[in-house]
A and B are shown apart, each in its own frame.
Chain A
Amino acid sequence: MGLKRILLAAAVGLSLSSSLHAADIDPKNWDAVLEDARGQTVYFNAWGGSENINAYLEWVSGEVNARFDIDVVHVKLDDTANAVARVVAERTAGRNEGGSVDLIWINGENFVAMKEQDLLFSPGWAQDLPNWQYVDFESQPSILTDFTVPTEGLQSPWGGAKLVFFYDDARTDAADLPQDAEGLLAWAKEHPGRFSYPAPPDFIGSSFLKQVLSELIDDREKLQQPVDPETFEADVAPLFAYLDELHSVAWRSAAAFPQNYPDMKQKLADGELDIIFAFNPAEASAAIAAGELPDTVRSFTFPEGTLGNTHFVAVPYNSSAAAGALVVADFLISPEAQLRKQDPAYWGDPTVLAMAKLSDADRAAFDALDLGVATLAPDELGPIIDEPHASWMERIEDEWRRRYIAGN
């Protein structure tokens, strides 16, 4: 195998149309999709860092196998970008069919990157799935607009997310808890070394930066547009002034940062941190059930609102089992699968379905869920702040790196 041949293959790959495969499958003809899917193996690329999520996916795999004769294999990622990178490597090598990734758990900038590079199975298919009829796209606008970019049916919703904070009631006085970002800074000054956030580009850490920016920017509407390079510096000045102050009183004086959310969770349990935050309101209850956090941990949120978004599943353009992947995506938004997903005994992730659209029995089942002591009820979660356009995240992360990566 000479180098020439590789480069040739890569060149051929580039010239092939990427929609070659899409024509074969028509989601509107669902019976045909089910027929095509029979016997397929779907490689589901999803973050594998959480045992309860892994166990949930194992259940999905068993159910889908029994009902539709599809094998689902969970490919555990430590970063979703790895799956994106793999699809790129395949296109580089000219493998426009029979790709190794069939379904990706995705949202935000990874979705935008794949959409812009034409790496997604198209045209839009999500709204043709039979279970789309239950999806709550009316009151959850982030189902149709992911980080301000229209989803256009290129990804199917899977779950909701909302920024919430956790603290240990046995150590921290609930009366002192901050009500907004400014309050958080004041709290951190009174409790030096007990608050921090994961360094960007960690997803949770970047989200914290966006939360602060959304609160402090002079006009929040600006965040719904792509970054304006002219005013960018002035727009983010309050954010970095805030961070400069925060870092001087942060955990380890911001010379090191927690790796990610689970790392913060461990540090809350160890007593290193006193306030942490997550994107899944049920995380703390699940961790208490698993013996990872003490049962005195409770949640709170900001009355003026915190970031919220939706996470999705998408199918790469060169999937070797696109029909099977669609069937799995449809099963994931079935009332049954969503009910189990919202149950903190299994996962505790908020559903994307509208209660009003469900049958009476299904709605009663959702109502009967015990969300756990540390989980806020849906009406206590506070208003949702929309995710900024993906370009903001990129620019803020760059700016963050430029200012802080060299240490002091």
Chain B
Amino acid sequence: MTLARLAPPLTIGILILPLVFGLVGTVLPAFGYLPALGGTTVTTTHFAELFAMPAIWRSAWLSLFVGLATTAISLGIVMLFVAGWSQTRVFQRVQHLLSPLLAIPHAAAAFGLAFLIAPSGYLIRLAAPVFGIDRPPDLLIINDPLGLTMMAGLIVKEIPFLFLVTLAALPQLPHRPTMQLTSAMGYGRVAGFAYALAPRVYRQIRFAVYAVIAYATSVVDVAIILGPNLPPTLPVRLLRWMNDPDLSVRFLASAGAVLQLSVTIAALALWWLLERFVAAVVTAACDGGLRFRRDRIVRILSLTATAIAGLLVFAGVALLALWSVSAFWQFPDLWPQALSLSTWQSALPRILDPLATTLLAGLASTLIALLLTIGCLEREIETGKTGGSRALLAIYMPLMVPQIAFVFGLQVLFVASGTDQRFAALVFVHLIFVLPYVFLSLSDPWRALDRRYDRVAAGLGRSRLVTLVSIRLPMLARAIATAAAVGFAVSVGQYLPTVLIGEGRLTTITTEAVALASGGNRRIIGVYAFLQTLLPFLAFAIASLVPALLFRGRRSMRV
């Protein structure tokens, strides 16, 4: 198994090196160094120019606020819900409702939400006959200046993510005995969870929480669809500068990317303070002997919030699908005047190439990520050492640095290499983001599998490779298939890296969807967003079918 020895350094390299090079390629122009545009001296004038931009601090503050509030609200809802309902039948139902939501790309969910809550959207259409509304009211719901709608769009997607991460962490803790103990001592469910389990759960999911902060402070697509206009959040302005026809604005864009990085770091620092504060409050409440025995209202509220988040996304996606097959559909009609497949018919021939690229890039990057992950985990078993929290940090690194701050630098690197291996480069840049998710979803089940199987095999004189192939892989087939589906879904959802490395010559369903979204045609958006949603769903469906097929003949492995 010498190959497994190579896996950890390779994995770390793939996770960290592009980050370093990308950041250097962004930071140098921020300080004036970009020879092709005549920048050869180090200067801070571009930062002066940046800070002179109108309302720049408001944009930065908005990003910070949206990022922190989104994370705090999503995490709060998830924690209260898990505390109040885990190990109940309701909990299992909600789990089934939320799991598929993880696969829906953020942009698709945001479009769906917009179709629901806009003044001409479905909810007002439902209310129209009751209140006698015949024209959409002139209300500022979408693009509100505080970014509340944008936060809602992010929260409905972060709740499933944090929920599933928490779900993965729970089995590693003495969950049931602890809850029995606290309730025997007279604590309410929520208080018992908060005092006895939450600190340990949080330690396990904290990097995922940091990834949410980084994502929410730097998100572009959701901010364009739902975010404020005057001024927009910082990443949206950044992208405009990166695309400005006046090329000298590139320096400003780089300086802005550095500011974006600072905003994300500031958000993480504030979050760290918030962690301390919440810990102090919980400790004080615990020391004060507060048992919160009657927590019914909190429980019901947390359930309601979680269910509404799930339903909003589902209803939004259903609306997207309906728009994609609708002919003329006027306000306040609840149903289009006619259904028509013409949008699908005209779009289909143009979908095939991007679809092929999406599938191939997704499969290739997922396969490589699986091989590397299995190599790393094998190496762990051989050496008996896990990388500890430092390795975990490395795995989360590409998720905790704003994409927009380093992919531009990566593009320069790719172009400078003069290679024409564009597809390989695309797979590689997808791999940077697929790898962490595959590793995170496979590592727990891998480590949890009873080591004695390996020892028995070794005792029977089988090599590591034979043990791996004939024992570990089959027993972990379900976990591997799920990890692959997660990786594939992540690859499908990549926008910025695909645009910058694919350079328009390689397009995926997601880049096509965002390009077409600029045209604002709801029917076309419906087609692409529906496909964007469908692909990950198919991946998860296959992931749940494959083990069932494999194990038809093995009774105790059957699902």
Interface residues of A (CB under 8 A from B): 1, 3, 5-7, 9-11, 13-14, 43, 45, 47-51, 54-55, 58, 73, 75-86, 88-95, 98, 100, 109-110, 113, 117, 192-193, 199, 201, 251-253, 255-257, 259-260, 262-263, 265-267, 269-272, 291-294, 394, 401-402, 404-407
Known pairs A270-B120, A404-B230; A92 contacts B415 (CB<8 A): yes
Q: Does B89 contact A (CB under 8 A)?
A: no
- Please name 6 pairs of A and B residues whose Cβ atoms are closer than 8 Å in the assembled complex, sorted by A: A10-B34, A82-B243, A93-B415, A109-B245, A253-B140, A257-B230
A256: chain B residues within 8 A (beta carbon): 140, 142-144, 228-230
Bound-state Cα–Cα, A147 to B21, Å: 40
B417: chain A residues within 8 A (beta carbon): 1
Q: Could you say which of B243, B349, B519 contacts A58, with CB atoms under 8 Å apart?
A: B349
Known pairs A55-B346, A255-B140, A407-B230; A3 contacts B24 (CB<8 A): yes
- B247, A78: Cβ atoms closer than 8 Å: no
Q: Does B231 contact A (CB under 8 A)?
A: yes
Q: Beyond the given A93-B36, A256-B142, A407-B228, could you list 14 further A-B residue pairs with CB under 8 A, ordered by the A residue number?
A: A10-B36, A47-B518, A55-B346, A83-B504, A88-B36, A92-B36, A98-B420, A113-B247, A193-B138, A262-B521, A271-B330, A401-B54, A405-B231, A407-B230
Bound-state Cα–Cα, A1 to B413, Å: 8
- A77, B140: Cβ atoms closer than 8 Å: no
Bound-state Cα–Cα, A75 to B504, Å: 5
Complex interface residues of chain B between 320 and 367 (CB less than 8 A to chain A)? 327-328, 330-331, 340, 342-343, 346-347, 349-350
List the 9 shortest-distance A-B pairs measured between CB atoms, nearest first: A49-B519, A75-B504, A193-B138, A93-B415, A262-B520, A78-B518, A270-B120, A256-B143, A92-B36
Among residues of B, the one whose C-beta sits closest to the C-beta of A53 is: B519
Among residues of A, the one whose C-beta sits closest to the C-beta of B40 is: A11
B8-16, B395-403, B479-487, B508-516: which lies at the A interface?
Answer: B508-516
Q: Could you say which of A13, A259, A272 contacts B518, with CB atoms under 8 Å apart?
A: A259
- A262, B519: Cβ atoms closer than 8 Å: yes
Q: Could you say which of B142, B243, B515 contacts A48, with CB atoms under 8 Å apart?
A: B515
Q: Does B240 contact A (CB under 8 A)?
A: yes
Bound-state Cα–Cα, A10 to B417, Å: 11
Shortest beta-carbon distance from B429 to chain A in Å: 15
Bound-state Cα–Cα, A260 to B331, Å: 20
Interface residues of B (CB under 8 A from A): 21, 24-25, 34-37, 54-55, 58, 119-120, 135-136, 138-140, 142-145, 228-231, 240, 242-247, 250, 327-328, 330-331, 340, 342-343, 346-347, 349-350, 411-413, 415-418, 420, 499, 503-505, 507, 512, 514-524
- A89, B138: Cβ atoms closer than 8 Å: no
A406: chain B residues within 8 A (beta carbon): 54-55, 58, 230-231
A192: chain B residues within 8 A (beta carbon): 138
- B328, A402: Cβ atoms closer than 8 Å: no
A259: chain B residues within 8 A (beta carbon): 518, 520
Shortest beta-carbon distance from B143 to chain A in Å: 4
- B524, A51: Cβ atoms closer than 8 Å: yes
Known pairs A51-B346, A75-B504, A406-B58; A95 contacts B515 (CB<8 A): no
Q: Could you say which of B120, B229, B504, B520 contacts A271, with CB atoms under 8 Å apart?
A: B120
Known pairs A10-B36, A51-B346, A77-B515; A94 contacts B416 (CB<8 A): yes
Among residues of A, the one whose C-beta sits closest to the C-beta of B36 is: A92
- A81, B520: Cβ atoms closer than 8 Å: no
- B413, A6: Cβ atoms closer than 8 Å: yes
- B415, A292: Cβ atoms closer than 8 Å: no
Bound-state Cα–Cα, A10 to B34, Å: 8
A10: chain B residues within 8 A (beta carbon): 34-36, 416
Shortest beta-carbon distance from B520 to chain A in Å: 4
Known pairs A43-B504, A89-B411, A406-B54; A113 contacts B136 (CB<8 A): no
Bound-state Cα–Cα, A266 to B115, Å: 12
- B515, A272: Cβ atoms closer than 8 Å: no
Among residues of A, the one whose C-beta sits closest to the C-beta of B420 is: A98
Among residues of A, the one whose C-beta sits closest to the C-beta of B340 is: A291
- A51, B521: Cβ atoms closer than 8 Å: yes
Among residues of A, the one whose C-beta sits closest to the C-beta of B21 is: A3
Q: Could you say which of A50, A94, A291 contacts B519, with CB atoms under 8 Å apart?
A: A50
Shortest beta-carbon distance from B251 to chain A in Å: 12
Shortest beta-carbon distance from A350 to chain B in Å: 20
B515: chain A residues within 8 A (beta carbon): 48-49, 76-78
Among residues of B, the one whose C-beta sits closest to the C-beta of A262 is: B520
- A95, B415: Cβ atoms closer than 8 Å: yes
Bound-state Cα–Cα, A75 to B230, Å: 31
B35: chain A residues within 8 A (beta carbon): 7, 10-11, 14, 92
A109: chain B residues within 8 A (beta carbon): 245-246
- B247, A75: Cβ atoms closer than 8 Å: no
- B505, A75: Cβ atoms closer than 8 Å: yes
Among residues of B, the one whose C-beta sits closest to the C-beta of A76 is: B515
Shortest beta-carbon distance from B511 to chain A in Å: 8
Among residues of B, the one whose C-beta sits closest to the C-beta of A6 is: B416
- B418, A81: Cβ atoms closer than 8 Å: no
Bound-state Cα–Cα, A203 to B511, Å: 22
- A88, B518: Cβ atoms closer than 8 Å: no
Known pairs A255-B145, A404-B230; A5 contacts B136 (CB<8 A): no
Known pairs A58-B349, A270-B136; A88 contacts B524 (CB<8 A): no
Known pairs A58-B350, A93-B415; A76 contacts B54 (CB<8 A): no
Q: Could you say which of A43, A253, A267 contacts B505, with CB atoms under 8 Å apart?
A: A43
- A92, B54: Cβ atoms closer than 8 Å: no
